[in-house]
Structure 1
Amino acid sequence: MSATLDLTTPASRPRPSAPASPALAQRSLLGLSREELGEALASVGVPQKQLRMRVGQLWHWLYVRGVSDFSQMANVSRDLRQTLSQHFEIRRPEIVEEQISVDGTRKWLFRFPARGAGRPVEIETVYIPEEGRGTLCVSSQVGCTLTCTFCHTGTQRLVRNLEPSEIVGQIITARERLGDFPAADTPAGAIVPSEGRLVSNVVMMGMGEPLYNYDNVKRALAVASDGDGLSLSRRRITLSTSGVVPMIPKTGEEMGVMLAISLHAVTDELRDVLVPINKKYPLEELMAACRSYPGLSNARRITFEYVMLKGVNDSLADARELVRLLKGIPAKINLIPFNPWPGTAYECSDWDQIERFADLVNDAGYASPIRTPRGRDIFAACGQLKSESERMKKGDRLALEAAVAV
Structure 2
Amino acid sequence: MQPNKIEIFDSFIEISCDKVNTNSIHKEFNSLTREQVNLLESNFYTRFANLDELYEKSDELAYDVLRKAIDQAMKSLATHEIYEIAEKQFLSRFVEPYATWEEDFEPIAAQYEAIVENTAELDAHRTARRQNRRQWVGFNQEAVYQADAKNVISNVGHGVFNLMAKGVTAIGNSVKKDEIFKSRKTVSQIINGVTNIINAAFLGTIDAINSVKPGTVYAYSAEEISKSKALVESVENGRIPMEKIPLNLIHAINFYPYSQKIYTLLFQNCGGDKGRLDAIITYFGMKNLDAEKRKLFENKLKELNASTVFEFQANVAALQQYADTIEYSDYESVLNKALEIVKENDFNNEVKKYPLQTLAECDQNLPLLEDYCTQIGYNKFRDWSSNIRRKIEAVHEQEEIKKQKAEALAKKSKFMQFLLSDDPSTKKKRGALSLVLFAILFVLWHRNS
Q: Please identify which structure carries the higher strand content.
A: 1
> Which TM-score band applies after superposition, normalised by the shorter structure?
under 0.3
With normalisation by structure 1, the TM-score equals: 0.25
With normalisation by structure 2, the TM-score equals: 0.23
Higher Cα radius of gyration: 2
Q: Please identify which structure carries the higher helix content.
A: 2
